[in-house]
Amino acid sequence: MKVLVVNAGSTSVKYNLYEMNTEAKLATGVVERVGTPNAEHVHEGGQDKVACTGDKASAADVQRAILDHLRRPGGPLAEPGSLGAVGHRVVHGGERLITPTRIDDKVEEVISECARFAPLHNPVNLAGIRAAREVFPDVPHVAVFDTAFHAQLPPHAYTYAIPHELYLQRGIRRYGFHGPSHQFMALSAAEHLQTDLGKLKLVTCHLGGGASVAAIDGGVSIETSMGMTPLEGLVMGTRSGDLDPAIPMLLARDGMTIDQIDELLNRKSGLAGLSGIGADFRDVEKAADAGDPRARLAIEVFVHRIRKYIGAYAAILGGADAIVFTGGIGENSARVRQQVCDGLFYMGVVLDEEANTTKRAAERGGIVEVTKHRSPTKILVVRTDEERMIAREAMRCVTGATGAIRSVRARPIPIGVSVRHVHLSRQDCDALFGPGYELTKKRDVTQPGQYVTRETVDLVGPKGEVRGVAIINPLRKQTQVEVARTDAFALGVAPPLRESGKLDGTPGLTLRGPAGTVAITSGVILAHRHVHMNPAQAKDYGVSDKDMIKVRVEGDREMTMGDVIVRVNPEYDLDMHIDTDEANAAGLNNDSVVAFDGLQVGRS
């Protein structure tokens, strides 16, 4: 299934298209200067001017430009009906929208109501949603909220020390933001440290134009720096972060309007206001290196605030196993990481200065460790991927818990549930349907060149029968019947677990068709679970034909499946076949994926 992820901002709309069976990114782009006559669509093939229906590019114009690009001849959505879902990043969901939610008119109303808490974000998020629902009317749309990951904050963490009636009546409380990024950092840290996330205490730092810190205990956010709005907390590109609440009142008494104060704190403060240079940290850093005193002060204030929050959150957690950095600054500024960590030796942080300077997460699988081996508290640098997290959440919302894997670094393998079916020989097809009968195509199956026919047969065994069993074409040299254990019990046969085509020593039964019956003396098997791959996919996964691998089911029923045979053929496409009994036991269906867990030790 293909999922389009849309992140609608005030002046730009970013998007990514994923094939969720493999999580391959099929397209990426951004429409800039939204709301002007000069909006441009920048994509992997170049850039185009957005056609406007009025005097400036509306949200609907933008979505139509994206759709036209993706549906162009040869494009990733050229085939009608190939888009399975659209995932939307929404900054604020309040207390009512705390999980990824399928969007309808009522959900839009709640997002609109929450705009009072995120006036810079929710209105443009909602405009993007409405435009996308108009352009993609037959596709499910899912909202994924920045606030959702922090929904389990305890009351003592989210409650402000103001009259409690303001919370009860108006919802004034801490909500927290950057949820997908903090979740991604936590999952990445657990996989890197090879420790169950439920056992880890983490401080995660998302440092970019917007910035926030979270305390994560056992995978649950228990404290975070942003508050009711994204204005609270760290120093940011243009936002002030924490300040004395009396300051806005003082400014108002001195004649500034509410809108002017809002503009000052949200768009003219932070690094831009402190440095007088701008919000881009690279420019501030360059000026500081050249000796600019305001730029130096801006960095010092920025670092001091981060270190203060890390120390506070370590106290709340009772220590930290790791401190994780991501975002444009967190990932790319060795200076900030070093200055933050210089004051954290008391926490057990022993920074490896060379690794901090030279190792880059983007070049090392998305995560690097930049502390000395002896450091009890690890410093990790992560290349975050919020869009992929949103795509996964949208997939799970539409298809169920197994619609996407949870592991950050693992590779997905799509599932094909193999229901009972028959592969016929030419001779047996003639006996069942008449001499020379040509079976007719009903639908394709996952493997190229194979299809389910409109015709069916009945299976008759010593104990009972199973009617209306599917036939898969093309015809084979020998008839083969694949059943699940429950089918075998009902029929009264005891087939072995075998690979397809290995039929020696297998039992037989009777097949019944409209023109007659056929008694086969062998050919009934329980199909061994297996994965189809083409050579390029096998190389990508690091496996070979006939290898045995393991996979993890990461839905509501978590388990590991071993003894999965790899079959490599140029005609194959990636999917894993299991029978209906195994699928039911694991909670899997044809929209599910499992996580590749490597070669099975001792088997090849």
Residue 560, in any domain of the structure: yes
Both structure tokens of 477: 């040299």
Residue that finishes a domain, picked among 361, 387, 413: 387
The 8-class DSSP code of residue 548 comes to: E
pLDDT one-digit tens code per residue, 476-503: 999 999 999 999 999 999 999 988 889 9
Residues 141 and 80 in one domain: yes
Beta bridge partners of 381: 325, 368
| Same-domain status, 373 and 242 | yes
What would the mean pLDDT of 28-33 be, rounded to a whole number? 90
Helix runs in 363-422, H state only? 386-399
Residue 351 maps to a domain: yes
Q: Are residues 201 and 345 in the same domain?
A: yes
Q: In the numeric block, which tokens belong to residue 210?
A: 């917007």
E strand or H helix that includes residue 413: strand 412-418
Do the Cβ atoms of 566 and 529 come closer than 8 Å? no
pLDDT over 50 at 365, yes or no: yes
Cite the beta strand spans of 146-242 per DSSP E.
Answer: 201-207, 211-217, 220-224
Taking the C-alpha atoms of residue 369 and residue 361, their distance in angstroms, rounded to an integer, is 9
Q: Based on the domain organization, do 500 and 534 belong to the same domain?
A: yes
Q: What is the mean pLDDT of the chain?
A: 93
The closest alpha carbon to 490, from 580, 423, 583, 429, belongs to 580
**94 lies in the same domain as 211:** no
DSSP 210-258: SEEEEEEETTEEEEES--SSTTSSS--SS---S--THHHHHHHHTT--H
- Domain membership of residue 509 (yes or no) is yes
Q: Residue 47: pLDDT above 90?
A: no
| Lowest pLDDT segment from 193-202, 432-441, 557-566, 594-603 | 594-603
Per the structure, the count of domains in the chain is 3
Q: What is the pTM of this model?
A: 0.85
Burial environment of residue 487 by CB neighbours within 10 A (0 to 12, 13 to 18, 19 or more): buried
Identify the pLDDT of residue 602. 64
- Last residue of one domain, picked from the residues 145, 166, 197: 145
Give the SS3 label for residue 544: coil
Asked if residues 576 and 537 have their Cβ atoms less than 8 Å apart, the reply is no
Interval 102-159: pLDDT, tens: 999 999 999 999 998 988 889 989 988 998 998 889 999 999 999 999 999 999 999 9
263 and 347 share one domain: yes
Inside any domain, residue 151: no
How do strand 220-224 and strand 322-326 relate by DSSP bridges?
unpaired
Q: Which of the pair, 55 or 376, is modelled with greater confidence?
A: 376
Higher pLDDT, 162 or 47: 162
Tens of pLDDT, residues 65-98: 898 899 899 999 988 788 999 999 999 999 999 9
Identify whether residues 6 and 139 lie together within a single domain.
yes
Same domain, 121 and 187: no
Q: Are 533 and 543 in contact (CB under 8 A)?
A: yes
Q: Distances from the Cα of 306 to the Cαs of 234, 239, 484, in angstroms?
A: 6, 14, 57
Q: What is the pLDDT of residues 232-275, one digit of tens each?
A: 999 999 999 999 999 999 999 999 999 999 999 999 999 999 99
597 in the same domain as 516: yes
Distance of CA 231 to the CA centre of its chain: 26
Note whether residue 414 is domain-resident: yes
What is the set of active-site residues?
146
Give the CA distances from residue 411 to residues 406, 537, 545, 597, in Å, rounded to whole numbers and listed in that order. 10, 11, 18, 8
Domain assignment present for residue 134? The answer is yes
Residues 277 and 414 in one domain: no
Domain-located, residue 298: yes
**pLDDT value at position 604?**
45
In this structure, the answer to whether residues 360 and 413 fall within a common structural domain is: no
- The DSSP call for residue 75 is S
Query: Containing domain of residue 382, as a range?
Result: 179-387
Residue 424 has pLDDT above 80, yes or no: yes
Measured CA to CA, the distance from residue 61 to residue 112 in angstroms comes to 21
Domain annotation covers residue 174:
no
Question: Which CATH number do you get for residue 116?
Answer: 3.30.420.40
Say yes or no: 426 and 360 in one domain.
no
